[in-house]
Structure 1
Amino acid sequence: MSHDLRQQRRRPVRASRSVSPVKVSVAILVSAVAVVALFAAGIAAQQFSGGLPVAGQAAGASAGPATPSPSPKKTGPAFGDPVRDGQFEFTVTRVDCSKSTVGLEHIKRTAEGRFCVISLTVRNIGDDSKYFVGQAQTAYDGSGTAYDSDELAGLYANRGVEAFVQKLAPAEKVTGKLVFDVPKNVALTTLELHDSPLSGGVLAPLR
């Protein structure tokens, strides 16, 4: 055996290097911080998955059902309600747009489209006598197109009586029919009524 080999065998084996207690404490602290951070991240993810709390609402409180907003109240008169212009109060009682002719068997008038016959009551609410003229009344469809009354058809519909060309005393009322010739595909929606041809007028719904 060589001299070098014997020297190597005689060298004492070095003891393993001991770990510093300070380094161990630092490692434990870093691990603990990492665990706490992961735990906090898990809680935050769970909260976000459940949705953020509504502003003004305590965290964890469930949002109650939304209160429905009240529907707007309908304004203006309904069909059949009395309306007034000047000295007259008007009430539409019936609308019939099913006729193509009006009159008697041998004396009748035929519509170019169809006739809308509107039954109307007129009452004088003023202090003086006043004439009501049916020709001053106008009907409108949904698009705003105006239609004048057909005087001859109105005469036939009222059985030859000029119901709407007469003088009404205070508190007196008369009932008659206004007739409008409209296209077959048109539906009248509004009647504009006047106590005279120059008055402001009032709208009465026909539906």
Structure 2
Amino acid sequence: MAHDRRAPLNPLLAVLFAVGAVAVLFLAGLAAQRYGSKEPAAVAGPAATTKATKKAPTTPPPPGVGDPVRDGKFEFVVSRVDCSRTKVGLEHLEKTAKGKYCVVSLSVRNIADESQYFLGRWQKAFDAAGTEYGNDEIAGVYANHDTQTFLKKLSPGDRVEGKLVFDVPKATRLTSLELHDSLLSGGVKVTVAR
């Protein structure tokens, strides 16, 4: 009869083997949690959406009254828009609007290295529907008692202040201006009603 020559299993070695197997399983579980599991991502609720919205970068508002804007050789700053008048000028030298006058007070500065004329006829105003209104140059002469205000050539660095006048229907509310340094320039928008 043959004898089984295998040595009996040492009880201490068996315990160490079992503890080692449990430790390996435990460490594998920790690694799966730490380095990402393949579970599907949770659906974001309203709170997550709100946080994402708050973190999204916001676009700055368009330039408005008081903001310097540039087109070509000129920098413009609209300081005021008054649409409450029906007449412009002095007591005996005045012009009456067909509707009402929107008088735009602004400054114009030549930021280029050569001289250029600023002409009111290139300036435009718009209402909320996108209707375009042209500058009333004759009313502008009455509103700018000094007729030289916008009729002189601006040298580099020169700044003038004056008024543009738009004759618009009485119910019209202007929302923006488009200011140009010349007839063919791209123009720059200024929001006048937010």
The TM-score normalised by the length of structure 2 is 0.70
User: Is contact 2:62–2:191 with CA below 8 Å preserved after alignment?
Assistant: no
Aligned residues: 148
Amino acid in structure 1 at the alignment position of 2:130: G
Gaps of 5+ in 1: 1-54, 58-62
| CA distance in 2 between partners of 1:182 and 1:162 (Å) | 25
Gaps of 5+ in 2: 1-39
User: Is contact 1:155–1:162 with CA below 8 Å preserved after alignment?
Assistant: no
Give the equivalent residue in structure 2 for 1:94.
80
Aligned mate of 1:114, from 90, 96, 100? 100
After TM superposition, give the deviation of residue 175 of structure 1 in Å: 0.3
User: Is contact 1:99–1:116 with CA below 8 Å preserved after alignment?
Assistant: yes
Aligned mate of 1:186, from 157, 172, 178? 172
Give the equivalent residue in structure 2 for 1:148.
134
% of aligned pairs identical?
Answer: 54
Q: Give a deviation string over 1:9-60, Cα, whole Å, max 9, x none.
A: xxxxxxxxxxxxxxxxxxxxxxxxxxxxxxxxxxxxxxxxxxxxxx745xxx
Aligned mate of 1:204, from 187, 190, 194? 190
Distance 1:134 1:64, change over 3 A: closer
After TM superposition, give the deviation of residue 65 of structure 1 in Å: 4.2
Query: RMSD of aligned C-alpha atoms?
Result: 1.9
- Map 1:46-85 to 2 at 5 A: 56=41, 65-66=47-48, 68=50, 69-70=53-54, 72-85=58-71
The TM-score normalised by the length of structure 1 is 0.66
Aligned mate of 2:122, from 122, 136, 139? 136
User: Is contact 1:133–1:166 with CA below 8 Å preserved after alignment?
Assistant: no
Amino acid in structure 1 at the alignment position of 2:81: V
